[in-house]
Amino acid sequence: MPRKFHPRSRLSGVRDAKLIVIASEGAETEPTYFRELASLASNTQVKVLPLTRNEADSGKSAPRYVVQMLDDFRNSYPDQESNDELWAVVDLDNYDLTETARLCYQKGYNLAVSNPCIEIWLLLHLKSLSEYSSEVLDEFRENPKINSRRNRLDMELLNILGEYNKSNLKVEKHFYLRTEKAIERAKKLDDIKLRWPNDLGSRVYLIVEQIINKK
């Protein structure tokens, strides 16, 4: 039986607007971030529909599974408009993304990779990577587990903010007013000719620019 994924709002009544449909590898951080960002931006021209997995599928997080989420969405809504954008948002971590990139290109999906993970995008709201020593940047690249709940980048966000909860990001308090600075920093780090960032960085800014209606 095919898996079913449910967008957070219905397509009916919004077909006058381009949709940005986001399927994310993370079940907490990314949906929370994009949902709150869209709400804060109050952008009526773009509808952000983070997709969430069924409880039975919650253990699956490989990038190819994110592509399957977008397949399921497209199959559920065959009347999808041609100007809608479907995004796979994934972390580099230890995955080989070659096959995922090939599938996204083949299916017309956009791919936003964070290297090593989404927390690097959040960190760019707060600090430039040029402020860190080469030793600390190496720690970020490796991003080891510090304890059972947090990795190195989690701990960096916790140390800066005094709080960091993946399912309760407090986007308005900690990140929203710094969005343009994060975009600026991410662009400087990015070589858009590459399929994804080969070093520390994130392509999430490509989605965020549209959500906050920056041209």
pLDDT at 94: 61
pLDDT at 173: 96
69-93 confidence digits (pLDDT tens): 899 888 888 777 778 899 999 999 7
Please compute the mean of the pLDDT values over residues 186-198 and round it to a whole number.
Answer: 94
Confirm whether 27 is domain-assigned.
yes
pLDDT at 57: 59
Q: Residues 20, 36, 175, 154: what is their CA dihedral angle, to the nearest 10 degrees?
A: -90
pLDDT at 145: 93
pLDDT at 13: 47
Q: For residue 167, what pLDDT band results from cuts at 50, 70 and 90? A: confident
Confirm whether 156 is domain-assigned.
yes
Confirm whether 6 is domain-assigned.
no
Report the candidate in 159, 160, 151, 155 with the shortest Cα–Cα distance to residue 126: 160
Confirm whether 5 is domain-assigned.
no
Confirm whether 177 is domain-assigned.
yes
Q: For residue 7, what pLDDT band results from cuts at 50, 70 and 90? A: very low
Confirm whether 4 is domain-assigned.
no
pTM for the model: 0.86
Q: For residue 155, what pLDDT band results from cuts at 50, 70 and 90? A: very high
Q: For residue 215, what pLDDT band results from cuts at 50, 70 and 90? A: very low
Q: How many domains does the chain have?
A: 1
Confirm whether 64 is domain-assigned.
yes
Residue 31 contacts residue 52 (beta carbons within 8 Å): yes
pLDDT at 25: 82
Its domain, for residue 54, covers 18-211
Please compute the mean of the pLDDT values over residues 144-167 and round it to a whole number.
Answer: 94
